Every structure is written in structure tokens, then in C-alpha cells.
Amino acid sequence: MPSSDSSAVLVTGVGITSAIGHGAGDFIAALLEGKRNFAVMKRPGRQCAAGDEPATRFIGAEIPSFSPPEGLPAGILRTASLSGQVALATLHEAWRDARLTDVDPVRIGLVVGGSNVQQRELSRAHESYRERPQFLRPTYGLSFMDSDISGMCSEVFGIKGFAYTLGGASASGQLAAIHAVQSVASGQVDVCIALGALMDLSHWECQGLRSLGAMGSDEFADQPQLACRPFDRRTDGFIFGESCGAVVVERAGAARRAGVGSYARVAGWAMRMDANRNPNPSFEGEVSVMRQALNNAGFDPASIDYVNPHGTGSKLGDATEVKAIEEVGLKHAYINTTKSLIGHGLSAAGASELVATLLQMRARRLHPCGNLEQPIDDSCNWVRVQPVDHAIQRAVKISLGFSGINCAMCLEAS
């Protein structure tokens, strides 16, 4: 399906907020520079006292000096959580990029990827009002619900088509993008925004993920910049990173507003479950979902020249994904890992990495990998410590989540 076909689904806008850059321009510049911002996390509610035992020092990449852009309503921002403020700022960029002010609000939809994303805010409220619950702020009655961020965004931007949240663990952001594409392709709306919400972890979630063996790092506890190392032999778990990404998708026939361009065509997608509650990966599931996405796009694996993998830094997960990429016939394609620079955004990861893929397509350059010193498989076509000049023609983006969730998306330069 050529991009000139009026039924082709195009990405016409992006927004991004991350620990290494706010906005698309700063973000792609930081990616290509290989910039990282990992440290012991300092946001209130992220670390906890442990009595007589030494407290675990949780490492991550936190967004520095964040302030929402001008023009957003001060009253809403004042009562919004960090997740809500970042969602509004990120959507604001994507909205302006795609010039959605000129679109009928009834024909715009919004899918927010991520559920239970405001944990730190709620945990701090519990601690602050434990002895005086009658003084709990009224907005708590909104913020504990998954509809809070989608409702806030729909109010601020006047979205009247539909708006809802979609929970899919670490695959939430890309699942939101898939649902947005399906909504546009089916004609339910003309334009749909997918937003991967910032998952604001408290010390409870950090400890739970450490206890599960998913979150690192013990080996690099005193060297935070070295801790995040997907696909490297010395990894010992994922490293959290605050981020939020948004993409605007619409049919080519609808994208006729002055000044609106296309980042890429969404050529194919697929989602598959492993029938498994647990976090362990499935080689069969990953192979199947990539093959299905390629088949739906009509792409031969040999035509793919770039893969943006899920790779978190899990020893078992990374090894399984590399084997799946080889099985599908994609090892020849360039591979880099966005998480190595921005950390694992959990609910936001798929959307933030989708934005990173689209910006690399536009820049015609691929960002380096952080800390990829001893790859678990030297035969892959890794982008190492330096950026690579390369005009992506066809890309595959993979996202995986706890509870056996697998999804993949194929993009084509437009």
C-alpha cells in the first residue's frame, strides 16, 4: 500500500518528554549524542527508610527541571500529578505538530497507554493524610482512577470523539498506538492520538520489582551511569526511566492541513498473548507476533533495515528476544536500544521508543547504544558507541509486557 493511497495510515505528529530531553528536537539531539541521565533517584517517595536495615538505593533516570509549556490551564496543572502534567505537556507538542486545532473535535480520539500510573502521588497522599483522612484533597477521588489522565487531556484539548486508557504493562504504549491505528483505519475517527503515560513509581513498586528480580542494579549500585545495559553480558536487570511519548495517526486522505507532514506509514501490526500471568518471555510468542506483523504489512524480513527492540536488560528476556529476531530473519537489520539511554519507561516505553524510531527515520541517523560493551550476541548488527548515518526505509518496533503480552509494529518511510 503506497503512502499516497488515501486509506494509508500515517503518523503526522509526535510529542516526547524524557530524562534526556523535552520535545522532539532536544530528544533526538540527545539520543544521537548518546546522552544519559542515570542516578540514584531523588524524587520524594521514591526511596524509603528501612529501619535497622540499609535501604535499597533505587537507580533510575528522572526528568530534570520539568515545567509545563505556556498555554495550559494553571488550575488543572495545579491539581495534576507529575504523570498528568507530563501527559499534558507531551500531548501539547504532538497536538501542535499535527495542527489538530483545525480538526473537528468529534472526529478525534485518544488512547492513553498505561493503568495505575500515579502510584507515587497516591502513596504520598496516604502517608500525608494517614492521621487526618478527613482533610484529604477532593481531587484524590479522581486521581486514583485510570480515567483521570485521559479525562484531563480530553478536557484541556477539547477531544470529543473518545478517550480511554489501555493497560498492557510495559507494552501499554505500543498497544495504545495499535488501537489508535485500528480506530483510524476503521473510520471510527479521522485522527487518533496514542499516549504512553509516565508511570510514576513509588518506593513500593520499586521494591516489588527489585524483589521480583526484574529491576537492577546490584553490580552497579555505586556507578549508576553504567547500570542500564540492555543486551550486554553484564546486565542485572532493567533500570527505570521517566518518559512519556505521544503519536498522532490519521488516514492519508484526512491529512491535508497546511504544514502537516508525515513521519512514516504504519504498514502492519500484531498483538498476541502467551496465556501466562508471569513475567517470563516466550520465544514462540515473540516469533509469532513479529511474523504476523510482517505478513500484515506485506514485508519480506529481508526488506527490514532497522529494529527497535524491547530489550530491557533482563538476562532471560534479552536472550529470548535476540533468538526470536534471528528466527524471524531480522539479524541483518540495524539494531539499537533506546532504553539504554532513557531507561525503561514501563507503560510509556513502547510509545517513547516509537517516537525515537520515527525521529531517527526523519534524521536519517541511528542513535548509539549505551553500555553495550559485551553484546550477548556479536553477530547482530548493533549500533555501538557512535551514531550511524542510515536512512531507515522499513522498521520493526517490538514491545513486550508482563502477563505474556507481545506486540509488534511495522513502519515504512513515507
Res 386: pLDDT: 96
Q: How far is CA 200 from CA 81, 82, 93, 242, in A?
A: 9, 7, 21, 7
Predicted confidence (pLDDT) per residue in 18-71, tens digit: 999 999 999 999 999 999 999 999 999 998 766 545 567 899 999 998 888 888
Predicted confidence (pLDDT) per residue in 145-159, tens digit: 889 999 999 999 999
Q: State how beta strands 306-308 and 365-366 pair.
A: unpaired
What are the structural domain ranges in the chain?
9-251, 267-412
Res 144: pLDDT: 85
Share of the chain above pLDDT 70, in %: 97
pLDDT confidence tier of residue 350, bands split at 50, 70 and 90? very high
Alpha carbon dihedral 403, 322, 32, 200, in 10-degree steps, equals 20
387 and 367 in contact (C-beta within 8 Å)? yes
C-alpha cell at 22: 523535552
Res 3: pLDDT: 47
Res 142: pLDDT: 80
- Give yes or no on whether 9-251 and 267-412 have one common fold: yes
C-alpha cell at 159: 477531544
Multiple choice CATH, 267-412, 3.40.47.10, 3.30.420.280, 3.40.50.620, 3.50.50.60 = 3.40.47.10
Mean pLDDT of all residues in 78-101: 96
H-helix segments, 55-214: 74-79, 82-97, 119-128, 140-143, 147-157, 172-185, 203-211
Give all strands (DSSP E) within 310-377, no chain letters: 334-335, 365-366
Written as one letter, the residue type at 128 is S
Predicted confidence (pLDDT) per residue in 160-213, tens digit: 999 999 999 999 999 999 999 999 999 999 999 999 999 999 999 999 999 999
37 and 61 in contact (C-beta within 8 Å)? yes
Tell whether the model's pLDDT for residue 290 goes beyond 60.
yes
Mean per-residue pLDDT over the chain, rounded:
94
Res 100: pLDDT: 97
- Give the architecture (CATH level 2) of 9-251: 3-Layer(aba) Sandwich (3.40)
